[in-house]
Chains A and B, each alone.
Chain A
């Protein structure tokens, strides 16, 4: 087992020992070293560096012109095999990478010349490489047709895709091409519209690409707002509970990383304390779940599951790496993961908000019951992310302290809730949840926050480099286990049975629900939630 090595040495080693012959793919599936490497390489080597390294290997005959022909041919083949597996693992990230375009062209070009020189020895490899190139061209073509997708984060609602000509892309069920291309996923050139507020609550609206750095956003905003450019301005997130987070200048896609009711402010560095929250950051004062009266819990869970699945499916495993190791180190976005995290928080606070905004005890009990039922169906649909979002929401102190409400709940439902709640028990590192997960077959949506936690703790607890720049492969192996698990969860086609209760006249129901969930407003300020809770059932002194 490889424990540590320089990136270069490990590439050498993999080429020499793992790319032996035509059954290299079989070998690849049998052991995980190479897969671990490809799942984690962005941590310790850039794409450019990797392609350079491969090309250097390919040009072995330029350095060692006295080598045997067999040896040279074999080495060149190994580079081609390496590339094939790289595409297999990196998938859409590979297709999306500009460095790869240049690399493939050069590699194919060199190989064609070598093919003539060495009696057509490279036919098989050439065909495979050309196939990848063709896939990549096809991908670019599809991207062009897809165009830029615009998202907005400019009002009190959440980050939403703007309706535009791409509607058809999102409406159709994903076919095989989309599974590889992920055309509905957020790409770095997609745009986002967001508002930037001044201390006096005036604002300007900016449209930027997803990968725009905070520094540039700040400068553009300062210019639009006619701010004195001799002053040191900074961008800060002001959360609904008045907490502020300063954005580093190098931070990317800041708009998708905001907390639910958080807003971006531009302010003089020394005046951050003077910022006050906008009234709209309170969220809402009226519940909305009554709008869902005509839908069964199963129908709502069905909708939530399809929605969450799409969000989860679109996340590239590398996004977890970028998030945990810091986006700015990679200059790459985590927008798909951000939206999935956001969706989790939104669902959670939606559940809390809806219960707390219902003043009538009997109706509150009904809402509680309905939410527990929705969670139950989510679990049945193997959507563990939404399941936990609702259950953790309902375990919030603001809800759990409502003794009268819980007392009125049917004993059977109470027991079910207790049982659900026990699944998020953190003891022995979430053993219960992990056992539950192991009983499900993929595809499924796992509990995403735990994936981030696992990777963060692995990262913080283990050095990336051990002495003199050697990559700690034990750490990479551990990280890859989580990343592989994410990929496993996505395998197979995700098709859940539409609820049987669905009558013809409700065929349109996903759209109605989509509209509802697009517009929900939630309260994410814990203090405010506690106040509401105390209003419903007074504090015992």
Chain B
């Protein structure tokens, strides 16, 4: 299907906060790793519409790689949005947000949109992190905030779509350099003239990122 833009997301956060569940809830697909190489199925992708424009979201789940933090770092480079997830029933996962955030900021391009997500809000009785604490953290660090439940699907759509909206707005404002794919945005067939090519001349080493 053709699209106007492709946005790449990354989902980060501690082990067991429900990263995969959020993704699955949103894409409504059970995950199957590609063993049939000839197909090369893309997982974790979905189309959404923002201001009448088709946008393809391609979401990279880092579940299972928490112990290999440096592998995760290599994904930030090409991401336009990040969902930083904690579990409202486990205080510890909230305490680790600072490290995750620092890591994300250091390794991504400076315009990456980060959405803070307090997941498992269906488990109100076991709540350890108050909603206000999440809000305060988000305010302090300039993030968008939302509490979700991957189980009941509460706010899951909104989390992904609001992030996309923010990225979209930034494109309109000219904050994102959409010609540089290292920023996690690709112009789709709907918008791009057939001969338009992204300038990637000095990207040979992939030294992109807003770190320098």
Contact = CB atoms under 8 A, between A and B. Distances in A.
B66 to A, nearest CB: 9
Interface stretch (A31-39, A171-179, A340-348): A340-348
B204 A455 contact: no
Contacts of B21: 460-461
Nearest to B33: A454
B34 A428 contact: yes
A456 B68 CA distance: 14
Interface stretch (B71-79, B81-89, B158-166, B172-180): B71-79
A461 B64 contact: no
Given A259-B67, A461-B30, A392 B74 contact: yes
Nearest to A352: B70
Interface stretch (B36-44, B116-124, B140-148, B191-199): B36-44
Contacts of A454: 33, 64
A426 interface: yes
A496 B211 CA distance: 41
Interface in B96-116: 96, 99, 102-103, 106-107
B126 to A, nearest CB: 16
B51 interface: no
A401 B20 contact: no
Interface residues of A, number: 53
A452 B20 CA distance: 14
A455 B205 contact: no
A431 B34 contact: yes
Contacts of B40: 428-429, 431
A421 B75 contact: no
B19 to A, nearest CB: 8
A434 B40 CA distance: 10
A328 interface: no
Contacts of A393: 70
A122 to B, nearest CB: 41
Contact of B63 (A434, A435, A460, A481): A460
Contacts of A457: 20, 31, 33, 61, 63-64
Contacts of A259: 67
B108 to A, nearest CB: 10
Interface in A312-359: 324, 341, 344-345, 348-349
Interface string B32-56: 1111010011110000000000000
Interface string A441-481: 00000000100111111101110000000000000001001
Contacts of B92: 245-246
A245 B62 CA distance: 19
Contacts of B35: 434, 481
Given A397-B73, A418-B205, A426-B75, A478 B32 contact: yes
**Interface size classification for chain B:** 35 or more
A241 B211 contact: no
B58 to A, nearest CB: 8
Given A246-B92, A341-B67, A414 B41 contact: no
A28 B33 CA distance: 25
Nearest to B58: A427
B207 interface: yes
A246 B103 CA distance: 21
A397 B211 contact: yes
Given A401-B212, A418-B204, A344 B60 contact: no
Nearest to A342: B67
B68 A345 contact: yes
B32 A539 contact: no
Contacts of A418: 204-206
Contacts of A345: 67-68, 70
Given A395-B74, A397-B209, A457-B20, A438 B37 contact: yes
B30 A462 contact: yes
B33 A458 contact: yes
A434 B212 contact: no
B76 to A, nearest CB: 9
Contacts of A44: none
B43 A406 contact: no
Interface in B5-44: 18-21, 24, 30-35, 37, 40-43
A414 B204 contact: yes
A241 B75 CA distance: 20
Contacts of B60: 426
Nearest to A541: B212
A298 B188 CA distance: 44
Given A400-B207, A414-B205, A434 B34 contact: yes
Interface string B123-147: 0000000000000000000000000
Contacts of B31: 457-458, 460-462
Contact of A482 (B33, B62, B73, B102): B33
B91 to A, nearest CB: 10
A540 interface: yes
A64 interface: no
B65 interface: yes
A424 interface: yes
B204 to A, nearest CB: 6
Contacts of B206: 395, 400, 418, 421
Contacts of A424: 74
A455 B67 contact: no
A306 interface: no
Given A341-B67, A414-B205, 9 more contacts: A243-B96, A243-B99, A345-B70, A393-B70, A401-B209, A456-B64, A457-B20, A457-B64, A458-B33
Closest 9 CB pairs of A and B: A456-B64, A460-B20, A461-B31, A453-B64, A454-B33, A428-B40, A431-B40, A429-B34, A449-B68
26 contacts: A344-B68, A345-B67, A345-B70, A393-B70, A395-B206, A396-B73, A397-B73, A397-B77, A397-B209, A403-B212, A424-B74, A426-B60, A426-B74, A429-B33, A429-B34, A449-B71, A453-B63, A453-B65, A457-B61, A457-B64, A460-B18, A460-B21, A462-B30, A526-B70, A526-B103, A526-B106
